[in-house]
Amino acid sequence: MNELFFLKQLNDSPGDTAILREYARWLSDRGDPRGQHLSAELDFYEAEKQFAQAEQHLGGLRGSRPQDFEWLNSVLPMVTRAPVSGIFYSTASPDDPPFVQLGDFCGRSTVVGIIEAQKVFFRIPAGHSGIITEIYVCNGTPVTAGDKLLNIIRPQKADVLQVRLR
């Protein structure tokens, strides 16, 4: 086998992950860094598909039967943690309101704060969807990577209605 063999197979069967995996192994066995890169790309695409399937499955479970969210929040808490060490800011500037407050509903990508580390500002997403029940750090507080920033709970339908009515 040589590279032309794989390229012809891929041309005949575009997107065939089995061939792509075999090609990646073949490249890696020869010390070609493209093999690792191709493997990582394939892993990423497979993870994206798994995430979409899990999200759909979870959505079906949440909508089809009553959940004991108190139990779920206790065994699988949704905590936003500092990804880097630095100074945590809960506002974009001193005169601005906080990004989030207790009781706010947030999505996974909702910015909950900024961490300044070595003159670089990192916007911190919530990472989870739900209602903020605890904020562990104050504006201007030093944090270490891994520190808890806030706690989020999975909302019951009544909770979501109350948040929307605010």
For residue range 95-132, what is the model confidence (pLDDT) as tens digits?
999 999 999 999 999 999 999 999 999 999 999 989 99
**How deeply is 112 buried, as exposed, middle or buried, from its count of CB atoms within 10 A (0-12, 13-18, 19+)?**
buried
For residue range 63-92, what is the model confidence (pLDDT) as tens digits?
666 667 778 888 889 999 999 999 999 999
Is the pTM value of this prediction over 0.75? no
- Domain 76-165 class? mainly beta
Cα gap 131→153, rounded to integer Å? 5
Give span(s): CATH 2.40.50.100, the chain.
Answer: 76-165
